[in-house]
Amino acid sequence: MTLDELNVGEKAVITAVNGEGALRRFLLGMGCTPKTEVTLQKIAPMKDPIEIRLRGYTLTLRLEDAKNIEVKYL
Amino acid sequence: MINFALIGNQNSGKTTLFNQLTGSNQHVGNFPGVTVDRKDGYILGYKDRVITDLPGIYSLSPYTNEEIVTRDFLLDEKVDCIVNILDATNIERNLYLTLQLIELQIPMVLAINMMDEMRTNGGTIKINEFSRAIGVPCVPISAAKNEGIQDLVHEMMRVAVNKIRPEKIDFCAGAVHRCLHGISHMIEDHAVAAGLPRRFAASKLIEGDEPLAKRLNLTQNELEMIEHSVVEMEKECEMDREAAMADMRYCFIENLCRNTVIRPTVSKEYLRSVKIDSILTSKYFAIPAFVLIMGLIFYLTFGPIGTFLSDGFALIIDWIINYISELLIQFEINPVVHSLVVDGIFAGISSVLSFMPVIVVLFFFLSILEDSGYMARVAFIMDRPLRQLGLSGKSFVPMLIGFGCSVPAIMATRTLSSERDRKMTILLTPFMSCTAKVPIYSVFALAFFPNHAAEVMILLYATGIVVGIGFAMILKKTVYKGAPIPFVMELPNYRMPSAKSVLLLMWEKAKDFITRAFTIIFLASIIIWFLQSFDLRFNLVEDSSYSILANIGQIIAPIFAPLGFNDWRAATALITGFSAKEAVVSSLAVLLKTSADQLPTMLSSMFTTASAFSFLLFTLLYTPCVAAIAAVKREMGSVKSTIALIVTQCAIAWIIAFIFYTCASLIL
């Protein structure tokens, strides 16, 4: 499954980061590396983007980009 | 001279530290070719120690302008010492950049910020062990509370003078380690020739950094060998090269933090942020709260505070003008020179300077929004609607400010991180009808739509927005065709903005604006005065209807015939609107030889209802005023795009007014 499929409050662990180019490298650099735990914190009032928590900080990204992050439940 | 470079993630407190290190001793400029702020300052107490504040970045990969600027600066300028600021409460991600900086082998100090926050929450960093493990001297500080800054300065001097380079360079093990070592030996000669640190070059080659690969001038054979060794590494790690490098760095970081960082179990600041966000970004209250906050800021800026300051400011300027005017008369200076100084230069500059209090007040609020962390939330809430235009949520605030005044709105686009978003936002802002156009709307509404003034206003504002959206769609399909920069952004904890940073920013913006008023606007005022005061034979005119400007008005008036107002006075008034939109009303009064309160009656003899609305549509959409154009030119960094914007806007204004007038004449 991918990150955008999580429900609010659910925790999962990243298994792979797909996609390519600048976005992928940026996500990796921000610490979205395999084996990292993430929690889906919130969905924006207009249903997109989403707010996730990882490595002790909060990151926001669009659903479309969250589809590139594969996760599995702990 | 010793040169320091201050570098760190966004939201790490970099600007606060810079302000603490330099005081108000700052010089703000641009990096060549890009609109990325460059700030230099002397370190307090040292005359020959310069520190440069580099853009806040998360990594040294060459994608965003900020990353490229920072990389080139570190690689090409003579930097004696890097000061890398880290947020202790978010140390893992902050260290990712540090590991890349270490590869540059430039003397370096780590300033570990927000240690006070870490400690009050019951956490800590074992500084000595941490420093030993990473091989770089570390100083714990709290930039906001001005704690540890003296220690940091001493350490910076020690490291810079003794050229203490990072001791360690290996943060890896296994396959990545072997691959990095192999490549770094292979390219050693090339790296020396290109003046690049070889370890840095090797890492970037693995990551597939093309600009750097070109700079190294490798042979085809070497490139193939590198590729081969990277493919081997990928197989062994079961990850592609980019993921493998990121994973290697984060593995080291996790290990380091496990041994030397005691994380607080709860962070008060984080819990507070969650609480605040349970309203400000919640499903039902986010948008009402946003409307309320922006409404309050608008009300205060353009309402009581702004008006009070503007009026006070105008009084002072008037007093100065009168004083100079009397002085000139006393010394019997030629009346033409008197007119040039008083009616031309001072009138022009003062009309623009009267914007200044509003701009300073607006930036006061904006910097609070920015520094507190709310601006990031606005982007989070508003991203979805703006995405349709090919923009991100971050563009919302500058465009909103455009309804007040285009000048600070365009200046506020500096906060946008992508160049493409920034430029598109700048081009869209003038379509948001500014407050200076309100007098025009109200005079015409009074004359032609006395019972529907509010509806006319709303219709005009809405037209501006709709045309702006259309324009954005066209830009997205033509000039800015490329893929939009993805929207991935940190939501920092809410923090109390520091008074020093807010005040320094206000001062910076005010200074910037004054400089502009006395250069480009100074020149424009003289030109407009000249055109208004002389006739074609360069004789001084008593009656402005004989001036060069009126002549130009006569020449261009036929252009407006299809719009319903083939009148030289309307055309002339539109030209004067170029200096400031309020001038349209005052020029019409002068040219119709009437007073302001009689103007509506006179206008009804000059326009029909349809041509009056057509005129309003044209004023809504045509060229921005000279102050806004100066701001556009500065922020776009291009005369060509600025002229293109003026021409496009005039064309759009003409077309829309033409369509309206043609339809109206057919129906009526």
Considering only A37-51, B416-430, B459-473, B634-648, which range has the smallest mean pLDDT? B416-430
Query: Averaged over B415-442, what is the pLDDT?
Result: 87
**Helix, strand, or coil (residue B42):** strand
Q: What is the pLDDT of residues B238-289, one digit of tens each?
A: 899 999 999 999 999 999 999 999 998 889 999 999 999 999 999 999 999 9
Residue that has been written with the tokens 């607006």 in this structure = B362
**Helix, strand, or coil (residue B487):** coil
- Considering only CB atoms, which chain B residues are within 8 Å of A56? 89-93, 263
- Per-position b or e across B79-115, b if 16+ CB within 10 A of its CB: bbbbbbbbbbbbbbbbbbbbbbbbbbebbbbbbbbbb
Spatial neighbors of B148 by CB under 8 A, at least 6 apart, are B115, B139, B140, B141, B142
Kindly tell me if the per-residue pLDDT of B386 is higher than 70.
Answer: yes
- Considering only CB atoms, which chain B residues are within 8 Å of A30? 58, 93, 96, 488, 490
In this prediction, residue B380 carries a pLDDT of 94
Give the burial class of B300: count Cβ atoms within 10 A of its Cβ; 0-12 exposed, 13-18 middle, 19 or more buried. middle
pLDDT band at B34 (very low <50, low <70, confident <90, very high): low
**Helix, strand, or coil (residue B526):** helix
Distance, CA of A34 to chain centre: 11
Q: Left (φ > 0), alpha (ψ -120 to 50) or beta: where does A51 sit?
A: beta
Spatial neighbors of B132 by CB under 8 A, at least 6 apart, are none
DSSP codes of every residue in B601-616: HHHHHH--HHHHHHHH
* β-strand partners of B113: B87
pLDDT band at B208 (very low <50, low <70, confident <90, very high): confident
DSSP codes of every residue in B177-230: HHHHHHHHHHTHHHHHHHT--HHHHHHHHHTT-HHHHHHHT--HHHHHHHHHHH
B199 shares its domain with B63: no
Kindly tell me if the per-residue pLDDT of B32 is higher than 70.
Answer: no
Closest C-alpha to B627, from B579, B559, B585: B579
Q: Judge contact between B515 and B343, C-beta under 8 A.
A: no
Say yes or no: A17 contacts chain B, CB-CB below 8 A: yes
What is the rounded CA–CA span in Å between residue A12 and residue A3?
8
Q: Judge contact between B23 and B17, C-beta under 8 A.
A: no
What is the rounded CA–CA span in Å between residue A23 and residue A32?
11
- Beta-carbon-side half-sphere exposure of residue B85 (alpha carbons within 13 Å): 32
Query: Averaged over B426-445, what is the pLDDT?
Result: 89
Q: Which residue has the higher pLDDT, B663 or B389?
A: B663
Spatial neighbors of B495 by CB under 8 A, at least 6 apart, are B144, B269, B371, B372, B373
What is the rounded CA–CA span in Å between residue A37 and residue B618?
56
What is the rounded CA–CA span in Å between residue B49 and residue B39?
14
Kindly tell me if the per-residue pLDDT of B323 is higher than 70.
Answer: yes
User: What domain count does chain B have?
Assistant: 4
- Considering only CB atoms, which chain A residues are within 8 Å of B384? 44, 46-49
Residue B268 lies in a domain: no
pLDDT band at B355 (very low <50, low <70, confident <90, very high): low
B306 shares its domain with B252: no
Kindly tell me if the per-residue pLDDT of B663 is higher than 90.
Answer: yes
- Residue B190 identity: H
Spatial neighbors of B561 by CB under 8 A, at least 6 apart, are none
Q: Judge contact between B521 and B355, C-beta under 8 A.
A: no
Q: What is the pLDDT of residues B578-615, one digit of tens each?
A: 888 878 887 888 788 777 678 888 888 889 999 999 99
Residue B492 lies in a domain: no
* β-strand partners of B488: A61
Kindly tell me if the per-residue pLDDT of B200 is higher than 70.
Answer: yes
Q: Which residue has the higher pLDDT, B656 or B538?
A: B656
Say yes or no: A9 contacts chain B, CB-CB below 8 A: no
Kindly tell me if the per-residue pLDDT of B222 is higher than 80.
Answer: yes
In this prediction, residue B351 carries a pLDDT of 66
Say yes or no: A18 contacts chain B, CB-CB below 8 A: no
Of B239, B287, B490, the CB nearest to A45: B287
Spatial neighbors of B500 by CB under 8 A, at least 6 apart, are B16, B19, B20
Q: Judge contact between B71 and B98, C-beta under 8 A.
A: no
B308 shares its domain with B412: yes
In this prediction, residue B656 carries a pLDDT of 96
What is the rounded CA–CA span in Å between residue B591 and residue B577?
14
Q: Judge contact between B55 and B66, C-beta under 8 A.
A: yes
Of A28, A49, A55, the CB nearest to B242: A28
| Mean pLDDT score of chain B | 89
Phi, psi of B417 (to 5 degrees): -85, -25
B538 shares its domain with B576: yes
Interface test with A, best of B242, B245, B274, B377 (most A CBs within 10 A): B242
Q: Which two tokens stand for residue B653?
A: 């204004």
B147 shares its domain with B60: yes
Say yes or no: B250 contacts chain A, CB-CB below 8 A: yes
Residue B589 lies in a domain: yes
Contact: A57, B284; criterion CB under 8 Å: no
Question: What CATH number has the domain bearing residue B24?
Answer: 3.40.50.300
Query: What is the extent of the structural domain holding B628?
Result: 512-667
Which chain B residue is nearest to residue A56, measuring alpha carbons? B90
pLDDT band at B226 (very low <50, low <70, confident <90, very high): very high
What is the rounded CA–CA span in Å between residue B26 and residue B501?
12
Phi, psi of B347 (to 5 degrees): -60, -45
B503 shares its domain with B632: no
B581 shares its domain with B467: no
* β-strand partners of B42: B50
B631 shares its domain with B534: yes
- Residue B74 identity: L
- Quick check: bond before B288 cis, omega within 30? no
To the nearest whole Å, the CA of A41 is away from the closest chain B CA by 10
**Helix, strand, or coil (residue B86):** strand
Kindly tell me if the per-residue pLDDT of A19 is higher than 70.
Answer: yes
To the nearest whole Å, the CA of A3 is away from the closest chain B CA by 14
**Positive or negative CA dihedral for B50, B53, B57, B60?**
negative
Q: How far is CA B367 from CA A26, B506, B507, in A?
A: 27, 8, 12
B309 shares its domain with B257: no
Contact: B281, A22; criterion CB under 8 Å: no
B47 shares its domain with B83: yes
pLDDT band at B381 (very low <50, low <70, confident <90, very high): very high
Q: Judge contact between B101 and B108, C-beta under 8 A.
A: yes
Q: Judge contact between B448 and B609, C-beta under 8 A.
A: yes
Kindly tell me if the per-residue pLDDT of B485 is higher than 80.
Answer: no
Q: Judge contact between B248 and B172, C-beta under 8 A.
A: yes
Of B93, B287, B487, the CB nearest to A31: B93
Distance, CA of B304 to chain centre: 26
- Residue B280 identity: L
Torsion of CA B428, B431, B435, B437, to 10 degrees: 150
What is the rounded CA–CA span in Å between residue B245 and residue B250?
9
What is the rounded CA–CA span in Å between residue B496 and residue B516?
32
Say yes or no: B207 contacts chain A, CB-CB below 8 A: yes
To the nearest whole Å, the CA of B240 is away from the closest chain A CA by 10
B147 shares its domain with B185: no
Number of residues that make up chain A = 74
What is the rounded CA–CA span in Å between residue B279 and residue B283?
8
Interface test with A, best of B58, B87, B93, B98 (most A CBs within 10 A): B93
Kindly tell me if the per-residue pLDDT of A57 is higher than 80.
Answer: yes
Q: Judge contact between B84 and B111, C-beta under 8 A.
A: yes
To the nearest whole Å, the CA of B481 is away from the closest chain A CA by 17
Q: How far is CA B590 from CA A60, B405, B457, B479, in A?
A: 55, 25, 25, 42
- Considering only CB atoms, which chain A residues are within 8 Å of B487? 49, 60-62, 65
Percentage of chain B beyond pLDDT 90 is 49
Closest C-alpha to B22, from B1, B45, B43: B43
Interface test with B, best of A24, A33, A36 (most B CBs within 10 A): A33
Say yes or no: A23 contacts chain B, CB-CB below 8 A: yes
B178 shares its domain with B322: no
In this prediction, residue B560 carries a pLDDT of 94
Distance, CA of B28 to chain centre: 13
What architecture is the A3-73 domain classified under in CATH?
A: Roll (2.30)
Angle at B235 between CA B229 and CA B238, to 5 degrees: 135
Is the ipTM higher than 0.85? The answer is yes
Q: Which residue has the higher pLDDT, B416 or B95?
A: B95
Angle at B246 between CA B241 and CA B247, to 5 degrees: 95
What is the rounded CA–CA span in Å between residue B222 and residue B508?
50
Say yes or no: B242 contacts chain A, CB-CB below 8 A: yes
What is the rounded CA–CA span in Å between residue B605 and residue B601?
7
Query: What pTM was computed for the model?
Result: 0.85
Q: What is the pLDDT of residues B295-309, one digit of tens each?
A: 898 888 877 787 788
Q: Judge contact between B563 and B611, C-beta under 8 A.
A: yes
Which DSSP state fits A2?
Answer: B
Contact: A62, B486; criterion CB under 8 Å: yes
In this prediction, residue B352 carries a pLDDT of 66
> Max CA-CA distance within chain B?
90
- Considering only CB atoms, which chain B residues are within 8 Å of A42? 277, 281
In this prediction, residue B345 carries a pLDDT of 79
pLDDT band at B356 (very low <50, low <70, confident <90, very high): confident
What is the rounded CA–CA span in Å between residue B213 and residue B359?
46
